[in-house]
Amino acid sequence: MDSQMRFDPYQPDSVPLFEAIYGKNLISLGGLAAIDNMFSDLNIKGLRALDLGFGLGGVAFYLAEKYQMNIAGIEIHPWMVQYAKDHAPANLSNSLEFNTYNSASALPYEPETFDLVYSKGVLNHISDKVGLFRQIHGVLKPAGLFVIADWVFPLATTDNSLPLVCETKESYEQILLSAGFSELDFRDDSKLFLGYAKKLLANLTKNREFIEQKYGQKLFSTLWKQHEELIDKINQHQKFAARIVAKKKT
């Protein structure tokens, strides 16, 4: 989830909340429109891909169906693995698999397994990106792509009020290059994400009664305030929605 709440939202009871504001089987800002945008200029049809932090599985379901992809998903929450397996469309059963990290907190895949690794709305929660990105580099095939949708900031800090790691464009570049990637491309999608944030406020308004009844007025107010603040920060250029593509050397 892009904006953290004071309670832990990553529990099964939060699924109706996620779906009310993001869409069915989704857990991040912008819904499927943001996924289409993430890959808008890339040819991903038929690729073998790894979804890093797949959430409820909706992105993997969508991409596997639309682009005839074979997708593995990795998550830290075991209940999400079971949820995605239980809700995956039957016609995609041979195209999807979902796992947690292994006992060493490492990716449980052989070297050079994937053509593509992608992650949306997850990596701003991870401080040790170098270690993770080296693992991702290892499981990518030569010339494979690592595609990221994440927030970048004018200054690199850790937000003490929220468990977020605030990377700059420069710090992201350094981390990716240190992990072995090359041919980095950054695209500023802030205008689109401004629209996504405004649509989320509309979804909150539409589902206000349900959210307040099930989760409380305080949570509704917190979500509203957080996304109003997000809109302000985007407008004031205090954070940017970046689409990053990093390529593994051949």
Give a yes or no: residue 110 inside a domain. Answer: yes
Residue 39 lies in a domain: yes
Give dist(CA 91, CA 109) in Å, integer.
24
Element of type H or E holding 155:
none
In a domain, 232, yes or no: no
Does residue 142 form part of some domain?
A: yes
**Beta carbons within 8 Å of 82's beta carbon, 6+ residues apart:** none
Q: Is 230 inside a domain boundary?
A: no
Q: What average pLDDT does this structure show over 55-72?
A: 97
Asked whether residue 196 is assigned to any structural domain, the reply reads: no
Supply the range of the domain harboring residue 68.
12-190+239-248
Q: What is the pLDDT of residue 166?
A: 86
104 vs 247: CA distance, rounded Å: 26
Which tokens is 121 given?
């709305």
Residue with tokens 């350094």: 174
In this structure, the chain runs to a length of: 250
Examine the pLDDT at 159 and tell me if it is beyond 70. Answer: no
Residue 223 tokens read as 């979500």
Per the structure, the count of domains in the chain is 1
Instruction: Name 147's bridge partners.
Output: 118, 245
125-134, 139-148, 218-227, 234-243: lowest mean pLDDT where?
125-134
d(CA 8, CA 234): 25
Query: Quick one: tokens of 9?
Result: 């939202």
pLDDT number for residue 160: 55
Residue with tokens 């701003």: 124
Q: Please name which of 165, 182, 153, 175 lies closest in space to residue 246, comparing C-alpha atoms.
A: 182
pLDDT of residue 1: 42
What is the rounded CA–CA span in Å between residue 243 and residue 127?
19
pTM: 0.93
Whether residue 153 lies inside any domain: the answer is yes
> What pLDDT is stored for residue 5 in this prediction?
43
- The answer to whether residue 161 scores a pLDDT higher than 70 is no
Which residues are bridge partners to 218 per DSSP?
none
C-beta of residue 51 within 8 angstroms of C-beta of residue 73: yes
Distance CA 49, CA 218 (A): 39
Q: Which residues of 47-79 are buried (b: 16+ CB within 10 A; e: fewer)?
A: bebbbbbbbbbbbbbbbbeeeebbbbbbbeeee
pLDDT in tens, 111-128: 999 999 999 989 988 888
Q: Is residue 112 part of a domain?
A: yes
CATH of the domain at 157: 3.40.50.150
What one-character DSSP code corresponds to residue 167? -
Region 211-229 average pLDDT = 95
* Maximum Cα–Cα distance across the chain: 54
- Whole-angstrom CA distances from 204 to 141, 211, 222 are 41, 8, 11
